[in-house]
Structure 1
Amino acid sequence: MPLYKTITVNPHTKVFIWKIEESFEALSEGIDLTKNCANRVVNMKSDLHRRGFMSIRHLLALGGYTDHDLYYDENGKPHLTGDKHISITHSFNFSAIIISDIEVGIDIEMQRSKILRIAHKFTPIEEYRTIANEDAMMRKLTIVWCAKESLYKSFAEKGVSFLENIYVEDFRLDETKTTATVTYEDKQQQYDVDFLEFEEFTCAYALISEK
């Protein structure tokens, strides 16, 4: 069972990361899907997406939940039965969830150079012009994207712009934490963001700041 990493963020928050190496058939063993989710899997054209979907059900089990405990609201945000909060992510051969007592968001992305071409769409690119090394810029922009994606998932308001409404405080590549703010209409929320890199992937997760 390729559970890649477990991170205990605090006594009430855990991150589970899965490296997807098994076949869809192997991942399906022992997993009881709801009728709706079973139909979703059948209609998925990508084998990697189907395997990612099933790997998340194994991560749920590690957190003490089943597919029957997971549901989505009208904005597409996942929820668990009970009082815990959850966020879910999947990118290529990695998937992850975060479960907490407070609102959370998580994202995993493969580090790819194409982010240099789209950076202006989600962050003021002039902030990163001083980074001389293209690889370092790619890594940093991927962290920023992951952070903003995790914040977007947690805040969960349609209409939020990565560029206009989400601000990630600057950080160094040798750090693992930063802070961020989402400002939208009459609402403002502060977050703490943690990030890590592994096997040319980046993961970031955000928790509402309790300060």
Structure 2
Amino acid sequence: MPLYSLQHLSPTAVLGLWHLTETPAELWPLLPQPEAYQALLPAKTDARRQAQWLGGRVLLHRLLSETLPDLAAEILVQNDNTGRPWLAGAGPGPTVSLSHSGTWVAAILAQDGRAGVDVEEIRDKAHRLASKFLAADEWAAAQAASQAGLNDASTHYSLLWSAKETLYKLSAQRGIIFKTQLLLGEFEPRESGEIPATLVLNGLQTRHCICYSQPAPGYVLTYCHEPHA
């Protein structure tokens, strides 16, 4: 299906969602420079992962056509040696963040600042692994919220994991310890809202705000864009 939604987060940043229903064969014609992308396609990917990989690049090119129409067809979405996506041919300004899970793809294209986005299929895996990525106070707050019936446990823990993934992408660094360096403050779970967050990096603490929503039943979305001051 075509672009599901497009949301301007600021005058310089746009968030796009794509509901992935296409096969890889249907996605290839939607990309500019398909030969170049064929060379970049990760080896040994099955059809589902190929569709997610292609869908992410199709979505970013749709966002590029909205924001950089003169360059959109000439830009290639590549990955650096840490796995983060970047735009070859776009110059030093724009930044991107990309995520996919199940049948959904999410992307942010920002002309300045930094950005992070994550979409997650709701599963019980995050609940099972909560002690590995949540600080003690975060885990206690999550357990209290579940016991009070404020949110389905699988949904709540998937949201917490997604929020930390977005904060991790915002940090733009490898080797981050989710449990001690990506910290989430208290919030009242709703269908959409904001989560206060703290990034502990290089001996400094910085404050951030992670937005969240449920784009479709069974999925959570988190994102953050911080333009330059």
Q: TM-score, with normalisation over the residues of structure 1?
A: 0.89
What residue in structure 2 maps to residue 154 of structure 1?
A: 170
1:209, distance to aligned residue in structure 2 (A): 7.6
Residue 71 (structure 1) aligned with residue 75 (structure 2): no
2:138 counterpart of 1:128: no
d(CA) in 1 for partners of 2:199 and 2:15?
22
Q: Distance in 2 between matches of 1:209 and 1:116?
A: 33
The code of the aligned residue for 2:125 comes to: K
Where in structure 1 are there 5+ consecutive unaligned residues?
none
**Structure 1 residues 70-79 or 53-62, which shifts more?**
70-79
Q: Is structure 2 residue 100 aligned with structure 1 residue 90? A: yes
Contact 1:33/1:68 (CA < 8 Å) preserved in 2? no
Corresponding pairs, count:
210
Task: Give the CA deviation at 1:2.
Answer: 3.0
Distance change in 2, residues 1:34/1:178 (3 Å): farther
Percent of paired sites with the same residue? 22
Aligned equivalent of 2:56: 56
1:7 corresponding residue in structure 2: 7
Name the SS of the counterpart of 1:29 in structure 2: helix
Partner of 1:33: 34
Shift of 1:40: 4.3
* 1:107 aligns with one of 118, 125, 130: 118
Is 1:208 aligned with 2:208? no
Cα distance in 2 between the residues matched to 1:66 and 1:153: 26
Q: Is the 8 A contact 2:113 2:227 kept in 1?
A: no
| SS across alignment from 1:148 | helix
Gaps of 5+ in 2: 65-71
Matches of 2:73 and 2:107, distance apart in 1: 13
- Alignment RMSD (CA, Å): 2.2
**CA offset digits 1:51-86 (Å, max 9, x no partner):** 111111221221123584323333222222231111
Question: Is the CA contact (8 Å cut-off) linking 1:48 and 1:93 kept in structure 2?
Answer: no
> Residues 182, 138 of structure 1: CA spacing in aligned structure 2 closer, same or farther, 3 A cutoff?
same
Tell me the amino acid that sits aligned with residue 138 of structure 1: S
Residues 74-83 or 18-27, more deviating: 74-83
